[in-house]
Amino acid sequence: MWCINCQREVKHRPAYGVANDTCCAVCARNTLAYIQPRTGETQEEMIKQMVGEAQRVAQSTGRTGDIEVLRGSRNSVSGEFETKILVYNTNTGFYRVRNQ
């Protein structure tokens, strides 16, 4: 799993005294995300995964500033295909998300 707070890959194990399975064992924050997208994930899980992907791109390429990550999915209400665009800024750690 990937910790978006520590910005590193960590082995999945619950932190001492914390029952939450998305809590990082290193920093004890609820910031673990799966490295690969999963089917049936919540909006929160999807955004965490996309932020982690942007952080990994930054680390592997040395890029800084805005890094864009795209994810396609089917809208659960309308059934139409939509693209979620996340732009993560490596300098500030902030991100913005929009659907297209």
For residue range 35-70, what is the model confidence (pLDDT) as tens digits? 999 888 888 999 999 999 999 999 999 999 999 999
Domain edges within the chain: 1-33, 40-100
Residue 60 · residue 35 · CB < 8 Å: no
Nearest to 25 by CA among 49, 2, 57, 56: 2
Which pLDDT belongs to residue 17?
56
| Predicted TM-score (pTM) of this structure | 0.85
pLDDT per residue as tens digits for the range 2-33: 999 999 998 766 555 555 667 888 888 889 99
